[in-house]
Structures are given as C-alpha cells and as structure tokens.
Amino acid sequence: MTLIKSISGIRGTIGGQAGDNLTPLDIVKFASAYSQWIIKRSGKNEITVVVGRDARLSGEMVGSIIEGTLTGYGINVINIGLATTPTVEVAVTGFEAEGGIIITASHNPKQWNALKLLNEKGEFLNDAEGKQILKFAEEEGFDYALVDKLGSITRSSYDNEHIEQVLGLKLVDVKAVKERKFKIAVDAVNSVGGIVIPELLRRLGAEVIERNCTPDCNFAHNPEPVPENLTEISETVKCEGADLGIVVDPDVDRLAIVCEDGSMFGEEYTLVAVADYVLSKTGGNTVSNLSSSRALKDVTESHGYKYDAAAVGEVNVVDKMKENGAIIGGEGNGGVIYPELHYGRDALVGVGLFLSLLAEKGLKCSELRRLYPEYHISKNKIELTPELDVDAILTKIKDKYSNEQVNDIDGVKIDFANGWVHLRKSNTEPIIRIYSESGSVEEADKFALMIINDIKKIAELI
Ligand code: MG
C-alpha cells in the first residue's frame, strides 16, 4: 500500500485508506490542485485539458474522477480514452489545449496507477511547477465553478493524428520501409500499444504478427521491456521467420527491438541506432541520461557532433536537449525523444525512424546491431544501515576518483577509459544503486565490485 507524491505527479496502489494509497479522495485532491494551477498559469477564461489513459483495470475509474473534477473546476475536458503517453502529449498541442493528464503507471504492476501532468506544450512539468501543485494539494484552498460555469466533456481519439504525424516526419522514409515488406512481431503487453503499433506498422506496409495486443492490461508477463521478460516474443520472431520483433511498455514511451534470430537488439541500442540514423541525415548534438550507454557518445562523436549527459528523469533530459540544441536524445531504457515532433519519449517515432534506418541499410536486424560498439551494463545495489550518511560516502568516492572524469549532477558518475560507474542513492531506502558499463558483462561487474568494496571500506571508517 503506497502513495508517492512527487514533482512529476502522484502514483500509488489502488484501494485502501485515503492518504496511504491512490484512492478517489486523493485523485480528487490532486486533480483539483492541477486545475487550480493550470487556471492560474494560463490566465484564460476558457481552459481545455486533454486526458488519456493506458489500459489498466483502474484506468476508467481514475479517468472518470479526473474528468468530473476538472469539469467541476470549470475546465473543458477532451478525453481521448485509451491512448499512449506520447499520444496524449501530441494531442495537447494538436487540440491547442492548456494542459494534459496521462493516467498510467508505465511498467509498474497492475495494482498501480498514476497521474502524470503536462503543460500547454504537452511536456512534463518542471521541479518548481510540480512543487507548486503539491503545495496546492496540501492547502486544499480549492474554488470550484458555479453551475453555469461547469466545463464540458468531449470524447475523441487522437491515435490516427499521432500515427499520421509520425508517418509525416521527413526522416521517416515510408516508401523505403514499404518496399522492404517487413514481417514484424509485436508484443504490447496487452496495453494501448496493441492498438497503435500494429496500425502504424500496417501503414508502413508491414505484415504484423500480434502477441499480447488486446488492450485489457492483462499483463502476460512482467511489463518492463527488458530481456528476461521478452522470451515469448523472441521465440515468436524465430518461429514465424519475422524480420524483427517490436516490444513496448504499457504506455508506449519505451521501445525494445528483437532481432530476426531471436537475440536482443538491446533496449540501450534503440536510441543509439535511431540517433545514428538521424545524425547521418541532420547534423546536431545528442543527450541521454547519465545511466545510459556510452555507445550514444561514441556514435555522436563519430558523426562529428557533441554528446551531453543529463540527470536521470525525462524532464532533465528534455531541459538539457533544449540547452544544447540536441536534435535527438532520450534514455537508454528505449526512450527516444525526437523534438522534430515533440519533446517526449515516443515509441511510435522510434519505430518509424528505426525501420527507416533498417530499410536504408538493407541489413538484417542482427547485422545492424553489429555495426555499433559493444557495451554491457551491469545493475547492482548495496544496502546500508539506516544511520550511515550516504551523501558523505558518495563524496568520499568522488574524492577517491578525482583523477578520473567525475560528474556529480545526479549522484556520482565516474568515467574511466574503458567503462563507467554511476552511483545514485535512493530517496526512500538506505541503498546506493550502482550501474556500471564496459565492453563485457564481466568487465562491467568488475567495475561494480570495485566500487562496492570502496563503499564497504568507507562505511566501516565512518
Ligand atoms: Mg513508460
């Protein structure tokens, strides 16, 4: 039973006591706070907010409460129903709305749900904006609309428009992709990806084999698109003789590719491949977060451009992309952000660009993968006793490796010649997460072990 309030929204488990879980009362309070904020921000008399949801069991319940609360605050709602996270984002600008709310708990298990809040550009709110809404929710100084000022409700879909926008991107080479007549297996973990991804692929002339594409959120496997959860699609690709497999998470902001031989293209390499394609056509810089593969830096520099790392969190990546004028960026977890359409992770955009690259190269998926530098990430954590000062430990690690390239904008990241280690403390538990990367799993594990031993020694001395 959990309710987590953060600057990017509110998330929690469904059912139980208000204040401890994501209950109707909590949803009303938070949606009211967002209404108060968006009215103040826009300063307009007529305000429209787009609402959309993934296929979770609780989605309709949460959505109807949000819809009722916003209209009760005098805000017009355009409810686009079952929709991906990027579809809600582009719908905000498409409908010229003042904001948006996405109802999704992404890859979390089915008892979870969450509200993610968007501004008038369809982008996530920044730190200060998120804090303001949490403050409004705390104060409960809500002022609802009088009867003749209630908002209206419009029900619509934006799937077709979103798909058309992706197909309309200059770098999505519809003709070349159609000519390849790809045979593609899709696993959408029975969420909204099951609606839009097969449709997008058919419009790209592909033969589609659907697996887990019924949007009833009956998660057929752990919904996080990482290798251990992708055995079924890997088998399907091989058995059906498909050219590739496409996997998305329940709200379709993450994209993973499976090669024709059933091997993983690797979630980390979705962005790497797509960036390689974009950079070969349009010059410019790239950004990913500190925990993403070094392969993006290598590929960017091989094209003669500059790579920058951002703190973890989509809003931080987007801010950094704007700051250095990046033409492509995202996260190593399969999140592709291509500002040509919008500043949000978008698996549909990722699919369009990836297939264009594959069509242009005329290679098999596994052959394409071999063009990129080989890196492996190892993910570990170390549990500490609660009385230990985690910040002090991180500072000591930073000092110890001060001769290496150290970045401390988000935890401590140490770049060595042949790999890196990124340490971040958890905000909720006394643990330090240690991500490391190198040319082989063994080398990456070695980096992690070295730092774990350092931490243990420091902890003994504190
Ligand atoms: Mg997601």
pLDDT tens, residue order, the chain (462 aa)? 577 877 667 889 999 999 989 999 999 999 999 999 999 999 999 999 999 999 999 999 999 999 999 999 999 999 999 999 999 999 999 999 999 999 999 888 889 999 999 999 999 998 899 999 999 999 999 999 999 999 999 999 999 999 999 999 999 999 999 999 999 999 999 999 999 999 999 999 999 999 999 998 888 888 888 888 899 999 999 999 999 999 999 999 999 999 999 999 999 999 999 999 999 999 899 999 999 999 999 999 999 999 999 999 999 999 999 999 999 999 999 999 999 999 999 999 999 999 999 999 999 999 999 999 999 999 999 988 888 888 899 999 999 999 999 999 999 999 999 999 999 987 777 889 999 999 999 999 999 999 999 999 988 876
Distance 129 CA to ligand 1 centre (A): 21
Decide if 286 contacts 328 (C-beta within 8 A): yes
Q: What pLDDT score does 7 carry? A: 66
pLDDT of residue 226: 86
- Phi/psi zone of residue 330: left (φ > 0), alpha (ψ -120 to 50 degrees), beta? left
Name the DSSP letter for residue 229.
G
Q: Measured in angstroms, how far is the CA atom of residue 456 from the centroid of ligand 1?
A: 34
- The upper half-sphere exposure of residue 100, i.e. CA atoms within 13 Å in the direction of its Cβ, equals 31
User: Collapsing DSSP states into helix, strand and coil, what is residue 225?
Assistant: coil
Q: What's the pTM?
A: 0.95
What is the per-residue pLDDT for 273? 98
Q: Token pair for residue 312?
A: 């973890």
Angle subtended by helix axes 159-167 and 347-361, to nearest 10: 30
Distance (Å, rounded) from C-alpha 312 to C-alpha 329? 13
Is the Cβ–Cβ distance between 242 and 234 less than 8 Å? no
Q: In the prediction, which pLDDT does 359 show?
A: 98
Cα 302 to ligand 1 centre (Å): 30
What spacing in Å lies between the alpha carbon of 107 and ligand 1's midpoint? 6
Helices 441-461 and 390-400, interaxial angle, to 10°?
120
48 is written with which tokens?
Answer: 């429209």
- Confirm whether 42 is a catalytic residue: no
Residue with tokens 């960036």: 275
Q: How far apart are CA 345 and CA 84, in angstroms?
A: 11
CA of 112 relative to ligand 1 center, distance in Å: 13
| Centroid of ligand 1 to alpha carbon of 219 (angstroms) | 14
Give me ligand 1 centre to Cα 254, in Å.
6
Q: Is 445 within 8 Å of 436 (Cβ atoms)?
A: yes
Supply the pLDDT for residue 220: 80
Phi, psi of 24 (to 5 degrees): -50, -40
Q: What is the pLDDT of residue 277?
A: 98
pLDDT at 3: 79
Q: Can you give the pLDDT at residue 8?
A: 67
Compute the distance from residue 198 Cα to the ligand 1 centre, in Å: 18
Residue 168, number of CB atoms within 10 A of its CB: 11
Centre a 10 Å sphere on the Cβ of residue 153 and count the other Cβ atoms it contains: 15
Q: Which two tokens stand for residue 283?
A: 């010059």
Determine the distance separating the centroid of ligand 1 and the alpha carbon of 78, expressed in angstroms. 22
Q: Using DSSP, state whether 303 is helix, strand or coil.
A: coil
Residue labelled with tokens 């990367």:
437
Closest to 90 measured CA to CA, from 75, 79, 100, 81: 100
Q: 108 C-alpha to center of ligand 1: Å?
A: 9
Q: Which of 32, 35, 58, 106 is catalytic?
A: 106
- Residue 17's alpha-carbon distances to 11, 26, 136, in angstroms, are 14, 10, 21
Beta-carbon-side half-sphere exposure of residue 228 (alpha carbons within 13 Å): 2
Rounded Cα distance between 188 and 183, Å, is 16
Q: What is the pLDDT of residue 223?
A: 86
Kind of pairing between the strands at 48-53 and 255-259: unpaired
